Amino acid sequence: MKKITKEVYLKWYEDMLFWRKFEDKLAAVYIQQKVRGFLHLYNGQEAVLAGALHAMDLTKDKMITAYRNHVQPIGMGVDPKRVMAELYGKVTGTSQGMGGSMHIFSKEHRFYGGHGIVGGQIPLGAGLAFADKYKKNDAVTLCYMGDGAVRQGSLHETFNLAMLWQLPVVFVCENNGYAMGTSVARTSFSTDIWKLGLGYEMPCGPVDGMDPVTVAKEMNKAIERARSGGGPTFLEMKTYRYRGHSMSDAQQYRTKDEVEEYKKIDPITQVLQVIKDNKYATDEEIKAIDKRVKQLVNECEKFADESDYPPISQLYDMVYDQEDYPFLKHKL
């Protein structure tokens, strides 16, 4: 695995802080009704992404996830201004304003969504990996899901085929404690989600999803196994979300004390403490990072605010072209 150096810690701090502040801004503009529909925020789970990105080869590896999907494409290289514009429904967004919060997508940066159907991305992730194996691309797909999605039958069908065909895919369950508002203990006899891999003899295990170092190490093992032809892995990232399932969640299923308890092991705070303990940056340098993050978030908001909504004609552009169907005259 690539060494976890001073530069890595500083990048982790700046990236995770930006992701957090980016989504805090989204929460604020959602209340102002600049962002409509559902909004599922990632606050608290940032270490899962930071650690994974460190282990990935971003020139060829792919990622696919569910609808809590705003910061992952940013980590993969997508312009955050375009991500925020997509959430605003603006024409400058990643899908020209037609996808919205749950459907961020970038073929260029190998980020394949954003899927609103619970568990819908699981077989698609295996399909991406199948294509890479077939084409000998030497690439690995990271397929993420929530703890609620593991109750879907498609997960078991996918696990079976992934093992049968030894696909280069890493399945990752981001277990943030609550499938919408229901704890794992209320929906499963076994609360060790990672054990689902045992039924398919798939390498599997639990991971501390609040520590980017631990995430990076375990993801690196799984990615290298997949890349070398060793087949899939299933990892359960034990993490936590500070906000509700979505912005409309009243969070009556947990106490404020519980949330505050988890904030004591916040991934951003953990990384910042390592930076301070090892004197990787002075207080002034840390303040400079904080200032850059705030400025970039403001730039994203300004870009989204000032962008245009798509024209009505675009509704007719977002369809498959069919030569013998002359009734839709619009084309992009």
CA 245 to each of CA 9, 129, 242, 252: distance values in angstroms, whole numbers, following the listed order: 29, 29, 9, 11
Question: Treating both helix axes as pointing N-terminal to C-terminal, what angle do 267-277 and 46-55 enclose, rounded to 10 degrees?
Answer: 60
Q: Is the pLDDT of residue 267 over 90?
A: yes
pLDDT of residue 291: 98
Picking from 80-94, 128-142, 238-252, which range would have the lowest pLDDT averaged per residue? 238-252
pLDDT of residue 330: 60
Euclidean distance between CA atoms 211 and 129, whole angstroms: 27
Euclidean distance between CA atoms 2 and 70, whole angstroms: 26
In sign, the C-alpha dihedral spanning 33, 35, 41, 46 is: negative
Find out whether 103 and 115 touch, Cβ atoms under 8 Å.
yes
pLDDT above 70 as % of the chain: 97
Beta bridge partners of 106: 111
Query: What is the tens place of the pLDDT at every residue in 65-110?
Result: 999 999 999 999 999 999 999 999 999 999 999 999 999 999 999 9
Picking from 106-110, 257-261, 281-285, 316-320, which range would have the lowest pLDDT averaged per residue? 316-320
Mean pLDDT across the chain: 95
pLDDT of residue 148: 92
**92-102 per-residue burial string, b: 16 or more CB within 10 A, e: under 16:** bbbbbbbbbbb
Euclidean distance between CA atoms 50 and 65, whole angstroms: 15
Written as one letter, the residue type at 179 is A
Query: What is the tens place of the pLDDT at every residue in 169-219?
Result: 999 999 998 988 888 888 888 899 999 999 999 999 999 999 999 999 999
**144-158 per-residue burial string, b: 16 or more CB within 10 A, e: under 16:** bbbbbbbebebbeeb
Q: Is the pLDDT of residue 327 over 80?
A: no
